[in-house]
Structure 1
Amino acid sequence: MNELNRKQVEDVRRVLRPKWYGTRQGRRITAALGSAALAMIWAGAVVCWFLAPSTTARWITLGLTGVALVIYAGVFSVLIVASEGVVSLAEKNLDERQLAEHRHVYALAHRGSNWMLGSATTVVAVMSVGHSILRIPTAAAFMFMVAAWTTHKIMPHLIVCWRLEDALPDDE
């Protein structure tokens, strides 16, 4: 469907500096930037919870989301090149090692998503104690769903980038 192909990955590799995708430190900084972008999406949902409906909530949420998208656009290209497309290439285009890594990363990401959803359910349950109905602005509910979906889609990229080892030096 919307998977990348090897030519697209190589095109991006030619544009980027190896400092970002070739070293563990660069990849970890990139993963941290991606996590910060994801945190901005969640912060927008929290702002909506406390301030919506208001123009303040709208502009803060739109601003945070816009900045997060700009940050993640750059982060995504580095993550794709660093992982050699393991997360974004179609499974039929991966070799056995890449396929095993692909499945392992997605298993870890799904485990993280389950923890996230469990934590969100716990927070809602605790906040609704003593109330028959928990009142939440519609904008906040929507933004929490967007944040959960975004986390689910981005987490595999962040995990593979964080876990990736440096390449072994050539023996010459």
Structure 2
Amino acid sequence: MKPRNRREERMLTVLERETPRYQTRERRRRLVVAAGGCLGLMWAAAVVCWFLAPSTAAMVTTFVLWGVALALGTQLWGMIHIVTRGTASLPVHLLDERQIRERLSAHPIAHRLTLLLLLVVFFVVGLALRGDKPEVPSAAATVLLFALMATVWSLPMLVTAWRMSDPPPEEEDEAEVA
């Protein structure tokens, strides 16, 4: 588990920060739910654009929703990255065996969720376009695309954080119990 360059050294330094507050499964899941809420704001912006664009209300609402989602999501993403110890994003040579197993089990689940999401979006958009004048505002298509890309990009990390087990107890704790 030796870094090969300065970028990897910096990544490991950040991940070595202790975050005992979020080391339990319940607290990590709260972070995942909050990050999912930020993704939900992005999707809500796409719906707002679909129904209100082109208008000033659609533009303002979209910018506000995306601003809140990005401001909160950036903080949450950093926290999730630290509490998962980079399991979903570090190069494989920097991971231990447990992290590799967690990554290998989380990625297929994230891909299945992505496929499900794509199917749902496909059918919802298909139903929305069944009217007499099927029109899609270009702003709605753009915001929908960016919401989809953000979701696909973040799902592996969110699934990893959701499924991650609690760390094993420290040796000192075991010695005190005995």
**Bin of the TM-score, shorter chain as denominator length:** 0.7 to 0.9
Provide the aligned length of Structure 1 versus Structure 2.
166
Aligned to 2:4: none
Structure 1 position 166, deviation (Å):
1.2
TM-score (normalised: structure 2)? 0.85
Deviations 1:127-168 (A, max 9, x none): 23354x621100000111101100000111111111111123
Rounded Cα–Cα distance in structure 2 between residues aligned with 1:58 and 1:167: 45
Q: Contact (CA 8 Å) 1:9, 1:81: kept in 2 or not?
A: no
Aligned pairs for 1:63-102 within 5 A: 63-102=64-103
Which stretch of structure 1 is more off in the superposition, 143-152 or 98-107?
A: 98-107
The equivalent of 1:24 in structure 2 is 25
CA RMSD after TM alignment: 1.9
- Look up the match of 2:11: 8
Counterparts of 1:112-151 in structure 2 under 5 Å?
Answer: 112-129=113-130, 131=132, 134-151=134-151
Are 2:35 and 1:34 aligned? yes
- Equivalent-residue separation in structure 2 for 1:6 and 1:160 (angstroms): 22
Q: Displacement of 1:114 after TM fit?
A: 0.3
Pairwise CA distance, 1:104: 2.0
Where does residue 111 of structure 1 map in the other structure? 112
Deviation at 1:98, TM superposition (A): 2.0
Single out whichever of 122-131 and 5-14 deviates more from structure 2.
5-14
| Structure 1 runs, 4 residues or longer, greater than 4 Å off | none
1:76-131 residue CA offsets vs partner (Å, 9 max, x unmatched): 11111111111110123223332232122111111101000001111122223354
Q: Give the whole-Å Cα distance in 2 for the aligned partners of 1:58 and 1:71.
A: 20
CA distance in 2, matches of 1:130, 1:24: 46
Could you tell me whether the CA contact under 8 Å between 2:102 and 2:164 is conserved in 1?
no
How big is the shift at 1:67?
0.6
Match of 2:166 in 1: 166
Gaps of 5+ in 2: 1-6
Note if contact 1:6-1:85 (Cα within 8 Å) is conserved in structure 2: no
Q: Which residue identity is paired with 2:116?
A: W
Deviation at 1:17, TM superposition (A): 4.0
Q: CA–CA distance in 1 between the matches of 2:131 and 2:10? A: 57
- 2:136 is paired with a residue whose SS is coil
Q: For residue 36 of structure 1, report the CA deviation from its aligned partner.
A: 0.5
